[in-house]
Structure 1
């Protein structure tokens, strides 16, 4: 088992009860001392990481391979649309007379470094950076060949207005005589249940919630307990495009509605939140086919345990309430131990 305890200003990486088999992501050829990935320091028994300076695009990552990688492509498309930035320069030189390069940057929460590393390993490229003032890591792709490979991997699966930025990037390649298919991208209108886009988007924006009325809920005569999933987005993206359409598709899958919130704020938002058992079950069925891989997967597993209690109508009984309280105490920001064994099942280019 791969276990990572989370500490406030330091992350202590340890492997215990670890088994290794052919094809396992824990590749001992990649064992290195990780130097700049945590804010303070790293303790290690064995350390799994990627030597960024030695990273090369793998020979078998041909465009044809990438087109066949629906699971990985759709998952990354959702992740990038939720937690990524596509930067297309408008000038050749910056104000400091430095060359401007296009890039795709993917943000990972501090505790999700193992996922960032496995994505970098599977892609075979990108630089993983820890920037000051940012509570996480950025996977930076700015090499032309690597950008083209990534664009070809995700191009069929985008569902948000961020597709406009990707089209601008393709135009940039065309204008600079770089080899890429100059076919305008269109939004993916396929059903959400047919690919892993929503799983990637949930990694970026979703939250699994278990709510209770008060600390003494087990002694309350009529306790209020909720098992919900929630996703919040700004009503418009940074280019002023509405996020409503794709959020309505998510809401339909979850048998709920999109609600406008913070209407009097400059940062008005849309919220999708499950409101009934069937909506939660729909989400559960989807995630069986297209699982999560970040630390959010661990919250989902706990949330799923609470959902089972709701399915059995035990959430109003004292024993069920006590179980829910116990589960809630280790979820989300309260979690201190992180197991990453589920990364052994991460998508690869052959899936």
Structure 2
């Protein structure tokens, strides 16, 4: 685990371990049955391994990221542009405070991700129904960062329906890299956009088969 939620996981482990100790001499059949199925857990340190070394980012992306295919007319030009983005956004601070009353920031984690992709971490504030929301965002949109995205997710596939969006996104990226002339793949991009992200109606879960 890499995020400040590490603290909540540790509290859950402490609770479980204390439960085992407190009930170790219980005579209740139900408690004895429970204790026979659980054991003490060891609290592991924060994961500081390279991001590309395991599937952590894949799980994080299933929850908080999205892939975008933006198609728009170029200003003052009679042509169309197709832009591909991977975007991950998360709130700036974890809601639990430490013993000094400070909230843990997600910035160190997002900074690591930004450095891995070679992109900038953006800070964003929004007012929604009289409440401010502050977040950090990492966006992959250039050739080098998108290449890292495909290298990573081909090695550590997503598990949710975002896998389907990623495969469509990666397909357009491959066409874009093989022929930079937009008209060579524009029709395919337009077609994919009709069944992509929130407009997706076609689903299959073959990628979950072992």
Quickly name the TM-score band, shorter chain normalised. 0.7 to 0.9
CA shift in 2, pair 1:310/1:319, >3 Å: closer
TM-score, L = length of structure 1? 0.49
Of 88, 94, 99, the match for 1:237: 94
TM-score, L = length of structure 2? 0.80
| Aligned length, in residue pairs | 182
CA displacement 1:85-137 (0-9 Å, x = unmatched):
xxxxxxxxxxxxxxxxxxxxxxxxxxxxxxxxxxxxxxxxxxxxxxxxxxxxx
Superposed, 1:233-272 pairs within 5 Å as: 233-239=90-96, 240-262=103-125, 266-272=132-138
Q: Which residue of 2 is the match for residue 323 of structure 1? A: 188
Cα distance between partner residues in 2 of 1:286 and 1:245: 20
Are 1:162 and 2:5 counterparts? yes
Give the superposed CA RMSD. Answer: 1.9
Identify unmatched segments of 5+ residues in structure 1. 1-157, 346-351
Cα distance between partner residues in 2 of 1:173 and 1:287: 34
Of 156, 166, 181, the match for 1:290: 156
Q: Which residue of 2 is the match for residue 55 of structure 1? A: none
Q: Which residue of 2 is the match for residue 213 of structure 1? A: 72
How far apart are residue 313 of structure 1 and its match?
Answer: 3.6
How far apart are residue 263 of structure 1 and its match?
Answer: 6.3
Cα distance between partner residues in 1 of 2:48 and 2:113: 12
Cα distance between partner residues in 1 of 2:126 and 2:203: 37
CA displacement 1:217-270 (0-9 Å, x = unmatched):
8xx623232101001100012213211111122222222111001167621011
Q: Which residue of 1 is the match for residue 40 of structure 2? A: 180
How far apart are residue 168 of structure 1 and its match?
Answer: 0.8
Question: Matched residue of 1:267: which SS?
Answer: strand
Larger radius of gyration: 2
Contact 1:163 1:185 in 2 (8 A): no
Cα distance between partner residues in 2 of 1:324 and 1:211: 9
Larger strand share, 1 or 2: 2
Cα distance between partner residues in 1 of 2:17 and 2:165: 43
Q: Which residue of 2 is the match for residue 201 of structure 1? A: 60
Cα distance between partner residues in 2 of 1:317 and 1:173: 57
Larger helix share, 1 or 2: 2
Question: Matched residue of 2:105: which SS?
Answer: coil
